[in-house]
Each structure stands twice: as C-alpha cells, then as structure tokens.
C-alpha cells in the first residue's frame, strides 16, 4: 500500500491564509461538524464517500479532515487506491489552530 501524503494543520492554515484554493473534505459525522468546520470545507461523511465518487476529479488534490485524522486516513487510503490524489490533515480538528465556521 502506497504511503498517504499528509499536511499539518499549521501548513494548511498558512496555505489558506495565503489564498490558496484547496479542496477540503470533512468526513466527520453531522454532530461533529455542527461544532465547527474549517471555512470552505465540504462535508461528506466517511460512510458516504463511496456513493459520492462522482464528486471527485482525478486531476485535483483533496485534503481530508476528521476529528483526529484516523477516519480521514482511511478515506485517503480508499481513494488513493481508486486513483485519486489525496492528503490527510494529521491531528485532525483536535489540532486545528485556525478559525471554524
């Protein structure tokens, strides 16, 4: 299994502050997302990823986020096997230093 690319919460925050256009996907459950999401992230629950493959474009890179980075890591492995470019935000929302909405 190929290693998953990662991004730290600090690196992600800096890229967003610099205005970089990133594809952020939050895979947490509804009640977790209700407590706050990274601005601009799209919410697709982990269990709904296989049914939403048509949303993803193999030419784009997606950054996956969950509470601690375990679920998003699993999603990254799954999508990488399907040929998608993915990154996992390590530490998840527990480590996110920035604003939430």
Burial class of residue 86 in the structure, from the number of CB atoms within 10 Å of its CB (0-12 exposed, 13-18 middle, 19+ buried): buried
| Catalytic residue (one of 27, 66, 86, 89) | 66
SS3 assignment, position 101: coil
**Are 13 and 40 in contact, with CB atoms under 8 Å apart?**
no
Catalytic residue status for 66? yes
Provide the annotated active-site residues: 66
């Amino acid at each position: 299994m190929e290693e998953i690319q990662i991004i730290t919460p600090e690196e992600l925050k800096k890229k967003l502050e610099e205005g970089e256009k990133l594809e952020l996907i939050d895979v947490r459950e509804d009640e977790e997302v209700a407590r706050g999401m990274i601005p601009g992230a799209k919410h697709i629950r982990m269990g709904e990823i296989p049914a939403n493959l048509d949303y993803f474009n193999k030419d784009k890179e997606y950054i996956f986020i969950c509470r601690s980075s375990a679920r998003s890591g699993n999603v990254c492995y799954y999508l990488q096997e399907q040929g998608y470019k993915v990154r996992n935000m390590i530490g998840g929302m527990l480590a996110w230093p920035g604003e939430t909405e």
